[in-house]
């Protein structure tokens, strides 16, 4: 035994002695080394490519020589000539052990390889999806051995892959016999085993060794937008990302108006359920077309969403979510067949996993943010704000995590804004206003040029300038405040008060003209007083939620802030703080995490252990209910000013100076602040 050659794998460092003639793949399996194989060592899938390392390895105490492996063989030669293979690589199933050898497993040959996310926080996702492909050779039926084809497939999977227990849907059973015969008793099967399943489920089957790739969708189902990532279930690559408006908007812009719609209209909940499912089907088709794949290759979908969307997706009347105590029908995760949700655009056996909800107002989207941003693993106190029509807010560190949800409304997503639109080419996304001239410059999605750069008109000729998106309106309002066009109460000054003709009277209030091409038949984009009010309501709700969690935690400041949301990556943190959306913090400690909920969905799609983890974590999060908390109202009212007046902004003040202006437009503006100021004068 001890005279058998020593095989050492890198990067794992796993090692063991094996008899001469043992294939490298076999050695890897016996040692538990992560070396991929779909064909089970038959030299046809090429997934088990390895790189022998030759030389002295004092650290490992071996000398690895080319003679330590069997010769390059015909199988490898055929594969390399037909499909190509990097020089120095071998097929792990063909190369056998002859002497002490060091074998490197390149990342592409690892099943559980790590994928670095593109988002700002470069946390890696370890690939361990619920669905894998397996190639098997099935014993032919025999009159003297009267088992069924499914039972022989089951035995083959056990013998060849060590897989115990399979189940098959009727649709698979229907195709099983012709597929086995077409593949001449060799088939590739997609097997799915969720983190709480006891057996593997056949999701699809192909004759012979299939070259198919399999995909999953990670869907962030928001009140206003539905965003989806199409991920390769083999390596986690995002093949395409796409989004559509949530068609339920026609039943109510925010969640409570949709709950009201369900309460007032018999069958209204089902109407909304149908609408969102149809939209998801359309989105599935769009994203598959964008990626150039067959929608049948989509075998899994993970959903994250707020509780009302959660119930409406599942077809549960959300009425209880509209009244205290805001009871969820189910708070746990939900695993089911896509067909049960009428998701007909993907593979007919595709599985769905919906993350657990934290509470009646804090949904699976908040859970996804917790999975993505991991506040519970943070050493310092982190505030995570996921901005959407409902903001999910998490505050915590290793000791404790608090969560709440705040009804910001859709203004941050460009809705309820006079020139608002969703983030799409042509939308203004960045705004600067010169504090002296009060003249704006801006950038639109689709071009890197500013509006005063040469060539801007040509660059935006195709898309045009169509409106202003969420990040654009945040910057516009903050810049207006910084330029002295807006007073702390949120009133826009007149042309006389501000000294710029860009401030124009609109009814009894003023508006700021950001862009005016009306003379040439183009659009006129303004920020109106009611736009400012909508943003004030939204940001007050957001701030009040964060503040409530800070009260509960007994702190006045946080160590760092993570801004997330469908447009999280695009929010300028400085502008967000000028607006008073978030508490004061060192500006270099305010980061954007992009669509954290969507990232959480991707993590749950690519790693089943993450599903078990978030189910555990959700149980440990303390949920704070904003709807019944009087302090929420207090914070909300106090946060109306720009920035809000409830706490000083020492960090912000180091980088900006806020003009001390106060406007009275005289009537028309019925806000408390305006009235109070009028009395004062």
Residues 379-418 as x/- pattern, contact with a second copy by CB under 8 A: ----------------------------------------
Compute the least distance from the CB of residue 309 to a second copy, in Å: 15
Kindly tell me which of 152 and 422 has the beta carbon lying closer to a second copy. 152
Compute the least distance from the CB of residue 258 to a second copy, in Å: 17
Residues 127-146 as x/- pattern, contact with a second copy by CB under 8 A: --------------xxx--x
Kindly tell me which of 352 and 538 has the beta carbon lying closer to a second copy. 352
Query: Which of 168, 369, 383, 527: binder of a second copy (CB under 8 A)?
Result: 168
Query: Which of 30, 184, 330, 437: binder of a second copy (CB under 8 A)?
Result: 330
Rounded Cα distance, 539 and 256, in Å: 18
Compute the least distance from the CB of residue 146 to a second copy, in Å: 3
Name the one range near a second copy by CB under 8 A: 155-163, 183-191, 249-257, 354-362. 354-362
Q: What is the total residue count of the chain?
A: 681
Binding of a second copy by 342 (CB under 8 A):
no
Query: Which of 122, 436, 496, 628: binder of a second copy (CB under 8 A)?
Result: 628
Cis peptide, bond prior to residue 325, ω within 30 of zero:
yes
- DSSP H or E stretch at residue 578: helix 573-579
Binding of a second copy by 493 (CB under 8 A):
no
Binding of a second copy by 149 (CB under 8 A):
yes
Kindly tell me which of 222 and 360 has the beta carbon lying closer to a second copy. 360
Query: Which of 214, 305, 328, 482: binder of a second copy (CB under 8 A)?
Result: 328
Kindly tell me which of 153 and 514 has the beta carbon lying closer to a second copy. 153
Kindly tell me which of 177 and 437 has the beta carbon lying closer to a second copy. 177
Binding of a second copy by 551 (CB under 8 A):
no
Compute the least distance from the CB of residue 492 to a second copy, in Å: 40
Query: Which of 2, 3, 81, 198: binder of a second copy (CB under 8 A)?
Result: 198
Binding of a second copy by 462 (CB under 8 A):
no
Considering only residues 604 to 623 of the shown chain, the ones binding a second copy according to CB under 8 A are: 623
Compute the least distance from the CB of residue 346 to a second copy, in Å: 18
Using H for helix, E for strand and C for coil, what is the string for 394-427? EEECCCCEEEEEECCCHHHHCCCCCCECCCCCCE
Kindly tell me which of 295 and 360 has the beta carbon lying closer to a second copy. 360
Binding of a second copy by 221 (CB under 8 A):
no
DSSP reduced 3-state for 285: helix
Measured CA to CA in angstroms, residue 106 lies from 27, 50, 53, 123, 154 at distances of 16, 6, 12, 21, 31
Residues 301-320 as x/- pattern, contact with a second copy by CB under 8 A: -------------xxxx-xx
Contact between 502 and 439 under an 8 Å Cβ cutoff? The reply is: yes
Binding of a second copy by 1 (CB under 8 A):
no
The DSSP code sequence of 112-154 is: T-EEE-SSSS-PEEEPB-SEEEEEEEPPPPBTTB---HHHHHH
Name the one range near a second copy by CB under 8 A: 90-98, 330-338, 468-476, 673-681. 330-338
Angle at CA of residue 46, ends 43 and 48, nearest 5°: 95
Query: Which of 30, 114, 177, 184: binder of a second copy (CB under 8 A)?
Result: 177
Of 665, 674, 670, 671, whose CA–CA distance to 505 is shortest? 665
Q: Count residues contacting a second copy (CB under 8 A)?
A: 43
Binding of a second copy by 148 (CB under 8 A):
yes
Kindly tell me which of 147 and 633 has the beta carbon lying closer to a second copy. 147
The region, left, alpha or beta by phi > 0 then psi within -120 to 50, assigned to residue 572 is: beta
DSSP 266: T
Compute the least distance from the CB of residue 275 to a second copy, in Å: 17
According to DSSP, the β-strands at 166-168 and 200-207 are: parallel
Binding of a second copy by 265 (CB under 8 A):
no
> Residues near 622 by Cβ (< 8 Å), separated by ≥ 6?
400, 401, 402, 403, 552
Rounded Cα distance, 118 and 248, in Å: 31
Contact between 312 and 318 under an 8 Å Cβ cutoff? The reply is: yes
Measured CA to CA in angstroms, residue 279 lies from 73, 351, 368 at distances of 53, 18, 22
Measured CA to CA in angstroms, residue 359 lies from 218, 303, 309, 389 at distances of 22, 16, 13, 17
Kindly tell me which of 146 and 521 has the beta carbon lying closer to a second copy. 146
The region, left, alpha or beta by phi > 0 then psi within -120 to 50, assigned to residue 558 is: beta
Kindly tell me which of 138 and 642 has the beta carbon lying closer to a second copy. 138
Token readout for 368 is: 């996804």
> Residues near 497 by Cβ (< 8 Å), separated by ≥ 6?
503, 661, 663
Binding of a second copy by 267 (CB under 8 A):
no
Residues that bind a second copy (CB under 8 A): 141-143, 146-151, 168, 170, 173-174, 176-178, 198, 314-317, 319-320, 324-332, 336, 340-341, 357-360, 362, 623, 625, 628
């Amino acid at each position: 035994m001890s005279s058998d050659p020593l095989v050492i794998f890198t990067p794992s460092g796993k090692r063991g002695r094996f008899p001469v003639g043992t294939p490298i793949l076999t050695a890897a399996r016996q040692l538990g080394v992560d070396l991929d194989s779909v064909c089970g060592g038959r030299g046809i899938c090429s997934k088990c490519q390895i790189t022998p390392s030759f030389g002295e390895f004092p650290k490992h105490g071996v000398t690895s020589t080319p003679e330590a492996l069997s010769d390059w063989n015909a199988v490898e030669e055929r594969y390399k000539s037909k499909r190509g293979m990097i020089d120095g690589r071998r097929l792990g199933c063909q190369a056998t052990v002859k002497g002490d050898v060091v074998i490197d497993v390149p990342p592409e040959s690892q099943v559980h390889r790590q994928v670095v996310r593109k988002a700002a926080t470069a946390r890696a996702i370890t690939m361990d999806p619920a669905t894998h492909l397996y190639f098997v050779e099935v014993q032919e039926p025999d009159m003297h051995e009267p088992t069924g084809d499914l039972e022989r497939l089951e035995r083959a999977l056990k013998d060849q892959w060590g897989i115990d227990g399979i189940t098959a849907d009727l649709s698979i059973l229907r195709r099983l016999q012709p597929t086995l015969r077409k593949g001449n008793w060799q088939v590739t099967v997609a097997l799915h085993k969720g983190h709480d399943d006891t057996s593997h489920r056949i999701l699809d089957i192909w004759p012979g060794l299939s070259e198919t790739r399999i995909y999953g969708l990670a869907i962030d189902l928001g009140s206003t937008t539905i965003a989806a990532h199409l991920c390769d279930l083999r390596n986690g690559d995002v093949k395409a990302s796409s989004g559509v408006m949530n068609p339920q908007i026609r039943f109510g812009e925010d969640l409570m108006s949709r709950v009201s719609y369900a309460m007032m209209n018999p069958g209204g909940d089902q109407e909304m359920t149908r609408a969102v499912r149809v939209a998801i089907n359309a989105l599935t088709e769009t994203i598959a077309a964008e990626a150039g794949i067959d929608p049948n290759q989509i075998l899994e979908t993970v959903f994250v969403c707020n509780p009302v969307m959660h119930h409406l997706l599942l077809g549960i009347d959300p009425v209880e979510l509209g009244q205290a105590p805001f009871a969820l029908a189910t708070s746990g995760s939900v695993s089911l067949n896509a067909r049960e949700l009428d998701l007909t655009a993907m593979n007919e056996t595709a599985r769905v996993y919906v993350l657990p909800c934290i509470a009646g107002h804090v949904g699976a989207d908040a859970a996804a943010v917790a999975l993505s941003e991991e506040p519970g693993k943070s050493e310092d106190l982190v505030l995570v704000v996921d901005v959407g029509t409902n903001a999910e807010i998490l505050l915590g560190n290793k000791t404790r995590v608090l969560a709440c949800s705040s009804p910001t409304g859709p203004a941050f997503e460009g809705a309820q804004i006079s020139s608002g639109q969703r983030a799409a080419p042509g939308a203004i996304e960045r705004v600067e206003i010169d504090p002296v001239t009060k003249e704006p410059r801006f950038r639109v999605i689709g071009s890197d040029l500013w509006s005063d750069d040469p060539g801007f008109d040509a660059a935006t000729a195709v898309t045009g300038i169509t409106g202003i998106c969420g990040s654009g309106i945040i910057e516009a309002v903050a810049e207006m405040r910084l330029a002295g066009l807006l007073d702390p109460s949120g009133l826009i000054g007149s042309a006389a008060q501000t000294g710029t003709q860009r401030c124009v009277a609109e009814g009894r209030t003023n508006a700021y003209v950001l862009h005016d091409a009306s003379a040439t038949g183009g659009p006129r984009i303004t920020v109106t007083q009611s736009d400012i009010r909508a943003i004030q309501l939204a940001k007050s709700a957001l701030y009040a939620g964060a503040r409530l969690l800070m009260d509960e935690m007994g702190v006045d400041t946080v160590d760092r802030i993570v801004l997330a949301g469908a447009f999280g990556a695009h929010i300028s943190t400085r502008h967000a703080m000028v607006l008073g959306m978030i508490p004061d913090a060192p500006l270099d400690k305010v980061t954007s995490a992009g669509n954290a909920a969507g990232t959480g969905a991707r993590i749950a799609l690519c790693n089943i252990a993450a599903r078990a983890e978030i189910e555990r974590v959700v149980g440990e999060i303390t949920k704070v209910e904003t709807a019944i908390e009087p302090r929420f109202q207090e914070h909300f009212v106090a946060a109306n000013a720009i920035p809000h007046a409830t706490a000083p902004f020492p960090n912000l003040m180091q980088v900006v100076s806020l003009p001390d202006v106060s406007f009275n437009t005289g009537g028309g503006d019925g806000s408390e602040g305006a009235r109070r100021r009028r009395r004062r004068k």
